Structure 1
Amino acid sequence: MAKQLISSSETKCVYRDGDLAIKEFCEGFPKAEVLNEALCTARVEDLPGLHVPKVLSVSVMDGKWSITREFIEGKTLQQLMDENPDKVQEYMEQMVDLQIDIHSKACPLLNKLKEKTIRALQEEEQLDANTRYDLLTRLDGMPKHTKLCHGDFEPSNIIVAADGAMYVVDWVHASQGNASADVARTYLLLSLKDAKKADMYMDMFCEKTGTEKRYVQGWLPIVAAAQLAKKRPEEKELLEKWVNVFPYE
């Protein structure tokens, strides 16, 4: 089978080559980020009860780094939602259940979410001094947990196999920390495409876990500000909107 393009973005292309999936990064993409993604994936791929395609190799050719992992035959949950709009609520429930299962795991070798967030807030030049101080103060007051957090959990990062098994990919932002921060990030990602789906997700997660919605909402300004540091143009407008949505107490 010839190598087939599966998806692409400004910084990477993903190909299928038989039983392999190859993520090829653009020339000049930071080596540290490639190695970090491979390391984070390797640390979660053997956790019991989770389906994570295994990393098989990391290589560089002609200045381009790549990560090779197992190829999983199936469709992303985003594709299924798009193809079956009448089943969105059912798919959303499966996604929430999967995220709750992820949060039930522990992976102590991962970076701590709080420390990553502090670094991002301190480095984000778009924040004025008062906003940065308010966000860091709010972050310091949040409960400190060590739950497994994906960091980029959305339907396009979930592959549903023919047998219904749900595989989670793209663990580059994985960390251990407060699950509600992870939920706030997913809410923001969903909001980029469909505010109704985002609200459905938030309501469903809070109901299933007994989490107060205002507690998750309290994370939104922090997560939005930290995410600005990733410099994703398609997210910038929404993130800036959320940074000052809730008053700091």
Structure 2
Amino acid sequence: MTLDVSKARALAGVPHVFLGRTGGVSGGIFDSLNVGLGSSDDRAAVAENRARAVTAIGDGLTLTTLHQVHSPTVVTADAAWSDDARPEADGVVTNKRGLALGILTADCAPVLFADLEAGVIGAAHAGWKGAFTGVLANTVSAMEALGADRKRIAAAIGPCIARKSYEVDDAFRRRFTEADPENDSFFTPGREGHHQFDLEGFVARRLAETGIATVEMLGEDTYSQGGRYFSYRRTTHAGEPDYGRQISLIALP
């Protein structure tokens, strides 16, 4: 089975991919391209899947991922680190060739960034908490510290859970509307005491607020496309004991 590859028009000319769950060697609930080191999947299978994933954007690249913790923290990669030395962060930027920056997701939004003229790229893991607390703005700022210009930065939001699939409660909605009443536009009424939250739309707005040049949304729902994507929420609803993670990657040409 081949890799399920999606790309963004906004990142044309920049090696990048948003991968789905197919084309790997894992079995069972992790079928098949599970790249999650934190999962209970066989470590050798995960390593093979990660090696396959990075070849989707080029040869001779070193995969560079994070220990993601739903934070606003962003780090700069001057060189690759080992899988066992991944920093706790949810955004990473670089101006070094040879690195494939990777973000793992299973409903949260992966966001890839590039200022091709400056030769600076970034990647962020934007769940609701990271997006709410500033990981996207911090990624843009970290890119500027390497010489990027936010007026040239393009960003693309990859597959994530869609509004129709993302039910939240009143307390969740209040957190957003108390911070900014305009955030109410990202919620639509659901069953009593609940709402449907537009994570992708919220992430797009947070990106637009940074003043970057371009924001593209792929519009792919991880929850409803079980054959294409892993989903934490779908796994939870199914009562499964664990879940896989897909990866989104970007590198300098």
TM-score of the aligned structures, taking structure 1 as reference length: 0.30
Structure number with greater CO (CA < 8 Å, separation at least 6) is 2
More strand by share: 2
Structure 1 or 2: larger helix share?
A: 1
